[in-house]
Structure 1
């Protein structure tokens, strides 16, 4: 178990698209080899507890691996807490705008799956709620902060959710209600994948989110990556990557182009 994937070099993206005036209004594109292309876009959303410490570059190895396995990949950036446009609701608004730009990219297939890690897992689950993304096939949330109330009770990331939302639940209740996927209707399927040994975002957070679902929601499934910690979930050299592939393929079965092993 190691977090070396956070600094491991990856190949350069095939292109980088600027979508707005801020340095965070950007996404990287990793293209598959044409003969392996599946006709599916995977949009990646990185984690880091919504803070500036980590940006999209640490998902470079994952983006490279997904492209090698036939997916078109858009690695999305977004402003984090304390950055221009960051915090709530700026982070969510900016991410939606960048995703919209990627969806309008004519070189990326229309069939879309979101994949988010940690705080990015929160964001993709939020995007999959309340019909926020039209025609979204689904999302895979890796080690997700999907239930903000549970995250707050566990003081995850030194109360990162409070910093992101601008206060405690009783101080800014409207922000907590608007940002928390656990309090909203799920409108596209989500697969929540937790690492068996994740002590950064424990599996109980994903389980707490899943327990809030009703018959009115799209499918929310949970899975455990055996032997994995929080960072292994985005490491294509760890067996957890095979679970991610399986979840994406389950969501896209029969969608997009031909699949290749």
Structure 2
């Protein structure tokens, strides 16, 4: 069976193709909390100097049984081989104690801000930080870059959120309220409710949905496979339109022959295209 990285006609990668990727060993493991899932794996490039940083956030419908952290190590290792330091973030997912609101969001915030501590020790360049997230992780990447806009009074608000200079969302979702029905189809009708507490909170999206926090002043690139049946290209286009109307720079890239999972398998043509997007965005940042 030909995949999107093969010559000739390509068949999109399947969930099984994604799940069976071997785990790659990180250069360091950092625990940012006491829960098993409150951990980051750091993949470092060879060579000296300050390393540009990719904050990597895996998908999996925010749910424990769909994993994602181990599988994302494959693209983390690939990015490290290409000169990037990769901050591969794990977080509490639905089905784990403390997951949902505010726990999952607090985990992402704490993990990202841990870069303040680790950067001097690991030669990480905090002027060049790009968040890359897949599927549910695309939402978390957009949210992480939006944290400076969190409303006063939100328990998720922190004094000095680490600045993310650009976001590349891979088959992600940015509007939890408006696009929630599309997310419910692959992930379950109650997933958004369990994540943000729509039944117990008066304004559950005001500090959890990136679309509610626009404009964020950060360049966003929304990448979708043309055959993505999980979160199709219109999801990215809709969010990009909202972002542009708010005054942000937003670009949509639709990749041919690719589905939802080609975007996070390092042997595919889709991943090669994403590398090009990442290189371009990093070159545009301050050195």
Fold conserved (TM > 0.5)? yes
Matched, 1:145 2:173: yes
Matched, 1:8 2:21: yes
From the superposition, tell whether residues 173 and 191 of structure 1 become closer, same or farther in structure 2 (CA, over 3 Å).
farther
1:184 aligned residue: 213
Secondary structure class of the residue paired with 1:175: coil
**Is the 8 Å Cα contact of residues 88 and 175 (structure 1) preserved in structure 2?**
no
1:165 aligned residue: 196
From the superposition, tell whether residues 51 and 96 of structure 1 become closer, same or farther in structure 2 (CA, over 3 Å).
same
**Is the 8 Å Cα contact of residues 113 and 162 (structure 2) preserved in structure 1?**
no
Q: How many residues end up aligned between the 2 structures?
A: 254
2:154 aligned residue: none
From the superposition, tell whether residues 218 and 68 of structure 1 become closer, same or farther in structure 2 (CA, over 3 Å).
same
How far the C-alpha of 1:86 sits from its partner, in A, is 0.8
Secondary structure class of the residue paired with 1:28: strand
Q: For the residues of structure 1 that align with 2:215 and 2:280, how far apart are their CA atoms? A: 18
2:153 aligned residue: none
**Is the 8 Å Cα contact of residues 14 and 29 (structure 1) preserved in structure 2?**
yes
Q: For the residues of structure 1 that align with 2:256 and 2:139, how far apart are their CA atoms? A: 22
Q: For the residues of structure 2 that align with 1:122 and 1:25, how far apart are their CA atoms? A: 18
**Is the 8 Å Cα contact of residues 6 and 59 (structure 1) preserved in structure 2?**
no
Q: Which runs of 5+ in 2 are unaligned?
A: 1-12, 150-160
Q: Please, which moves more after superposition, 211-220 or 104-113?
A: 211-220
From the superposition, tell whether residues 175 and 136 of structure 1 become closer, same or farther in structure 2 (CA, over 3 Å).
same
Q: For the residues of structure 1 that align with 2:147 and 2:53, how far apart are their CA atoms? A: 21
**Is the 8 Å Cα contact of residues 244 and 250 (structure 2) preserved in structure 1?**
no
Q: For the residues of structure 2 that align with 1:151 and 1:255, how far apart are their CA atoms? A: 31
1:115 aligned residue: 132
1:200 aligned residue: 230
Matched, 1:83 2:113: no
2:55 aligned residue: 43
How far the C-alpha of 1:214 sits from its partner, in A, is 4.1
Deviations 1:215-258 (A, max 9, x none): 5433111111211111111011111112211221222115466x
2:240 aligned residue: 210
Deviations 1:3-29 (A, max 9, x none): 313221143111111111111221001
With structure 1 as the length reference, what TM-score do the two structures score?
0.89
Q: For the residues of structure 2 that align with 1:67 and 1:243, how far apart are their CA atoms? A: 17
Would you identify which runs of 4 or more consecutive aligned residues in structure 1 move more than 6 Å? Answer: none
How far the C-alpha of 1:51 sits from its partner, in A, is 0.8
With structure 2 as the length reference, what TM-score do the two structures score?
0.82
